[in-house]
Amino acid sequence: MAARLRLFSCNRWNVLSFHDADHGPGDGTPIDQHIRGVLARGGYDIEGGRVSILCYPRVLGYVFNPLSVFYAFDRRGALMAIVYEVNNTFGERTSYVIGIDDPDASVHAQSCSKDMDVSPFASREGNYSFRITRPDEELLLAVQLRDDAGPLIKTLFRGRREKLDDANLLGLSLRFPLLTLKVIGAIHCEAAKLWLKGIPLVQRHRSPRYTVTNVLSKR
């Protein structure tokens, strides 16, 4: 697919690009191969099925994905599991593998315990709640992080399918220039606002470079 595009490439520099090294263990292992292995170890058989990803591409060689989402489908096209890949700004990454209870549901509600420090202003304790739809002409992803005191973070992403061609890629690049730099810039800007308000820093627990948590296993 990337071969027919001038503005998008896989594993090499371009205006927009996708690199396997930006996901999973970060060692360049083909991400499709890695995710299939993670799912197999969790008890999910998607042999003959496909894996789709929702993420930002590199823009002019740079990307930071606070959250990437992998959708795992079986050979019949049924959605079997979601892999939520969370990154923090300390270079740590963890994936939460959660099974789909009802593939026919219009919205899937999922949750898991937080296993990695993300913000220096929040402790490791807490729970993520996800509301997510199957990717189609439109998709929706809502994430909430809460602890015993209540909600800490609420975020919503809504997307609409567009034809993947150079004309659309050029238009998006002009509409959202340096998008991924804006992502990391906004994260640090919000952190600065919290610090100026006197919000105390929380001692950070170092995590391995990459971990996988199997939240719900179908065996």
Report how many domains make up the chain.
1
Distance CA 43, CA 214 (A): 9
pLDDT recorded at residue 3: 67
pLDDT recorded at residue 123: 82
pLDDT recorded at residue 216: 63
Question: Residue 219 pLDDT more than 60?
Answer: no
Domain membership of residue 219 (yes or no) is no
Domain membership of residue 148 (yes or no) is yes
Domain membership of residue 98 (yes or no) is yes
Q: Which residues of 77-94 are buried (b: 16+ CB within 10 A; e: fewer)?
A: eebbbbbbbbbbeeebbb
Place of tokens 């990803």: 53
Distance CA 72, CA 199 (A): 39
SS3 category, 184? helix
Distance CA 84, CA 66 (A): 10
Q: Give 46's contacts (C-beta < 8 A, 6+ positions apart).
A: 36, 39, 72, 73, 74, 75, 80, 81
Question: Residue 218 pLDDT more than 50?
Answer: no
Mean pLDDT of the region 64-74: 97
More confident position, 216 or 29: 29
Global pTM value: 0.93
- Mean pLDDT lowest among 17-26, 33-42, 80-89, 122-131: 122-131
Identify the domain containing residue 8 by its residue range: 2-214
Mean pLDDT of the region 159-184: 94
Domain membership of residue 169 (yes or no) is yes
Mean pLDDT of the region 172-179: 92
* Amino acid letter, 16: L
Domain membership of residue 16 (yes or no) is yes
Local confidence band at 217 (pLDDT 50, 70, 90 cut-offs):
very low
Distance CA 68, CA 57 (A): 11
Mean pLDDT of the chain: 92
Q: Strand (E) positions, 42-186?
A: 51-54, 58-59, 67-73, 79-87, 93-99, 108-113, 127-132, 138-147, 150-160
Mean pLDDT of the region 57-85: 96
